[in-house]
């Protein structure tokens, strides 16, 4: 079995176990702590899931390194070798306030290049995954790439900061050229909206490597463009102001702003 297939089978098994862990914890009360701000939260579940996933990765792939949100991974200064990106709960604020609209995300990169990405929409029990060169799947069913629509032909997704802070007003003008704005509060779920063709772009003012890594693999497989706000490649060692877009809308967002 190839290394990619071995990882694919294990990741799917681990995501299933993670979903059971979340389900089992529903009856218990969540322990919520603030991180950098009152709206930047972490729960005992974020930590428990990341710890469980990092333990599984380390015991199966001891040579590999891990970039995770909650600190159980390694401190990376480069992307050499095989690197795993983990976001145990993407959309923690939704998880705490809504108990829905959050995702579990895992991606594997080799020498800085995306190999396989996984986004599990916990509420709808749908696992989206993509393997470079093999396509994008929902619960293992192959999907086809959405139409390459321009900005004026579809909806644009954003994050709260972009909508509320004056520093990003130019993007509000761009959003005004689309057919409308949508906002889910989970980078992973926004990527799923792009995969489905429900939105034509997702523009977010601040995303971490684990927010970007799995979606980048799937969306590039479908011909989408991913860059920072200057139109340059994203850097998976730091946070990025990020644009995910159809190829046609990308030129309108990056070039014409
Ligand atoms: P999280 O829930 O894993 O933190 C919400 O707009 C999206 O942005 C979510 O995917 C959220 O991921 C991410 N996010 C929230 N606050 C962030 C921050 N301070 N830096 C980077 N990403 C953030
Ligand atoms: Ca998270």
What is the position in ligand 1's atom list of the atom closest to the CA of 87? Answer: 3
Do residues 118 and 112 lie in contact, with contact meaning Cβ atoms separated by under 8 Å? Answer: no
Please provide the CATH number assigned to the domain covering 3-142: 3.30.540.10
Q: Residues lining ligand 1, CB < 6 A?
A: 40, 69, 87, 90-92, 159, 185-187, 206-208, 211, 239
Residue ranges covered by each domain of the chain: 3-142, 151-256
Do residues 201 and 91 lie in contact, with contact meaning Cβ atoms separated by under 8 Å? Answer: no
The arrangement of secondary structure in 151-256, i.e. its CATH architecture, is: 3-Layer(aba) Sandwich (3.40)
Tell me the whole-structure pTM to 2 decimals.
Answer: 0.97
Q: Which ligand is closest to the CA of 92, given by its number?
A: 1
The span from the CA of 170 to the CA of 115, in Å, is 34
Q: What is the pLDDT of residues 54-75, one digit of tens each?
A: 999 999 999 999 999 999 999 9
Which of 182, 183, 186 to probe ligand 1 with, by most ligand atoms within 8 A of CB?
186
Q: What is the pLDDT of residues 212-257, one digit of tens each?
A: 999 999 999 999 999 999 999 999 999 999 999 999 999 999 986 6
Distance from Cα 52 to the centre of ligand 2, integer Å: 15
């Amino acid at each position: 079995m190839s290394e990619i297939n071995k990882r694919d089978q294990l990741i799917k098994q681990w995501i299933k176990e993670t979903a059971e862990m979340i389900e089992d914890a529903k009856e218990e009360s969540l322990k919520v702590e603030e991180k950098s701000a009152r709206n930047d939260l972490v729960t005992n579940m974020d930590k428990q899931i990341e710890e469980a996933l990092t333990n599984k990765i380390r015991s199966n792939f001891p040579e590999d390194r891990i970039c995770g949100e909650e600190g159980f991974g390694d401190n990376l200064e480069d992307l050499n070798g095989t690197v795993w990106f983990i976001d145990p709960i993407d959309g923690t604020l939704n998880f705490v306030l809504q108990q829905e609209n959050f995702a579990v995300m895992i991606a594997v990169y080799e020498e800085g290049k995306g190999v396989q990405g996984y986004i599990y929409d916990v509420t709808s029990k749908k696992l989206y995954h993509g393997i470079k060169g093999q396509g994008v799947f929902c619960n293992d069913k192959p999907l086809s790439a959405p139409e390459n629509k321009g900005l004026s032909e579809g909806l644009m997704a954003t994050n709260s900061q972009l909508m509320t802070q004056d520093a990003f007003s130019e993007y509000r003008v761009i959003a005004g050229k689309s057919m409308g704005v949508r906002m889910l509060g989970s980078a992973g779920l926004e990527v799923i909206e792009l995969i489905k063709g429900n939105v034509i772009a997702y523009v977010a003012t601040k995303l971490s490597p684990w927010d970007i890594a799995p979606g980048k693999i799937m969306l590039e497989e479908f011909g989408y463009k991913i860059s920072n706000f200057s139109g340059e490649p994203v850097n998976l060692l730091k946070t990025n102001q990020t644009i995910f877009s159809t190829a046609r809308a990308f030129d309108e967002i990056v070039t014409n702003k």
